[in-house]
Each structure stands twice: as structure tokens, then as C-alpha cells.
Amino acid sequence: MSVGGARIVREAAGVAHPYKIESSRDGAIWNTTIDRTANISDTSNLSQPEHRFETKAVRYIRLTLTGYDDKGGQRNSDMRPWAGIREFEVFE
């Protein structure tokens, strides 16, 4: 199937946990589709970042959290959010 994008619905608003989204045809070989592993702030809508991309003939999509934002997307904050994901939506 072709995949045109994904949206992450986070548990806590205002966080920017680093992550990557990968795609695979067979579940063995993975290609990085979105790389936010150096994330401090990925979009203006931190609680539900949406990414557009085009992958063809994929069967699997995975989201990997690669770190933890202990400042809530703001370097001067004392916020301590958990790395919770409420939904991971994939669409054509």
C-alpha cells in the first residue's frame, strides 16, 4: 500500500520527544522516513505533529521514541512530561 503521512497524538501537549518514523516492505529491512532524533521542537503543534511523505508498497510503519524531552519543548521550563503516545495515525 502507499502511505502518504502520519500523525502522532501525544499524551501531554507541548513536548518534543525525539523520534523517528520508519517504513518496511517485509518487516526485516527498515528505511527512515522521518527523522526527528535531534528534536527540540518539531512543529508549532507539538501535541499532534503531522508529517507528509510518500512511500510505496510498504506493509509496516513503526514509530521509535529515541529520547526524552524533560523540558516540555522549552529549554527554560521545569516541566517533566512522560513520553506517552495516545495515538499513531497512518494515512494515505
Q: What is the pLDDT of residues 14-28, one digit of tens each?
A: 677 889 999 999 999
pTM metric for this prediction:
0.78
Dump the DSSP string for the chain. Answer: --EEEEEEEESSTT----EEEEEESSSSS-EEEEEETT-S---S-TTS-EEEEEE-S--EEEEEE----TTTT-TT--------EEEEEEE-
Q: What is the pLDDT of residues 48-81, one digit of tens each?
A: 778 888 888 888 999 998 887 666 555 555 555 6
Domain holding 78, by residue range, is: 3-91
* Residue 3, pLDDT above cutoff 90: no
Considering its fold, how many domains does the chain have in total? 1
**CATH code, domain with 61:** 2.60.120.260
pLDDT band at 83 (very low <50, low <70, confident <90, very high): confident
